[in-house]
Amino acid sequence: MSALVRCKACNYIMKESALGEVCPACGVKRKVFEPYEDRVSARRRFLLDLDSHPILVHFPQALVSMLPVLVAANLWLPSLYGPELIVVTCFTVLVLPFSVMGAIASGLFDAKLKFKKLSPPAVVRKIVTGSLLLVLTTANAAFLCIFGYEGTGRWIVLALALGSLGCAVLLGVVGKKLIPAILPGK
């Protein structure tokens, strides 16, 4: 395994052999780097470096962010791609709970890898908020299937979509603080 170095300015960690004249993250000169020892086992590092959770979480974030815009466009600009926009909106509502399930599963796996348990306070906050997001997106899909998207149905879909967006924002705020955190060991 090649030696690792850490930028003292921004904490960026990389292989020493890949370091150029400046930090790829913040641009400070090479001399600011210092030797770094990874305190995580090779197996855990391999699994963490797959980045499954950061990758899988972007799909539901995109859908959650897009959904209120789609519904609002349906409500206030109904002639704008009318039927096509409704199909896209309904498809998004129906797919969203499944993408949230994938993000939750990868988040639980990632938290277990990073912290060796699921009980740290920030992880619990993410589990509770992610569960609420799953409930809201599932309720939205169930409502759409049972009552449809016509009339006041659009307003209910919008309200549930905005609640989902609030959960997604909270998950992002808590999650970004956990990115560099990891317990050392096997």
pLDDT in tens, 139-150: 999 999 999 998
Using the structure block, give the residue that is written with the tokens 């641009």. 27
Express each pLDDT in 148-172 by its tens digit: 998 889 999 999 999 999 999 999 9
For the entire predicted model, the pTM comes to: 0.83
Domain assignment of residue 28, given as a range: 4-37
**Mean pLDDT, range 113-140, rounded to an integer:** 95
List, in order, residues 6 or more apart from 120 with CB less than 8 Å away.
Answer: 111
Q: Given this model, what pLDDT does residue 1 score?
A: 55
Q: Are residues 167 and 93 in the same domain?
A: yes
Q: Given this model, what pLDDT does residue 5 score?
A: 93
Residue 170 lies in a domain: yes
Strand partners, 5: 14, 35
More confident residue, 168 or 183: 168
Q: Are residues 87 and 22 in the same domain?
A: no
Q: Are residues 15 and 92 in the same domain?
A: no
Q: Are residues 101 and 147 in the same domain?
A: yes
- Terminal Cα distance for the chain, rounded: 17
Residue 166 lies in a domain: yes
Q: Are residues 91 and 172 in the same domain?
A: yes
Total count of domains within the chain? 2
Q: Are residues 106 and 138 in the same domain?
A: yes
More confident residue, 54 or 144: 144
What CATH number corresponds to the domain at position 155? 1.20.1420
d(CA 83, CA 85): 5
Strands of the sheet containing 33-36, edge to edge, are 13-15, 4-7, 33-36
Residue 185 lies in a domain: no
Q: Are residues 125 and 52 in the same domain?
A: yes
**Mean pLDDT, range 37-61, rounded to an integer:** 88
Residue 186 lies in a domain: no
Residue 183 lies in a domain: no
Q: Are residues 23 and 89 in the same domain?
A: no
Q: Are residues 10 and 65 in the same domain?
A: no
Q: Are residues 170 and 88 in the same domain?
A: yes
Q: Are residues 64 and 152 in the same domain?
A: yes
Q: Is pLDDT at 60 greater than 60 in this prediction?
A: yes
Q: Are residues 8 and 65 in the same domain?
A: no
Tokens at 186, concatenated: 């096997």
More confident residue, 54 or 162: 162
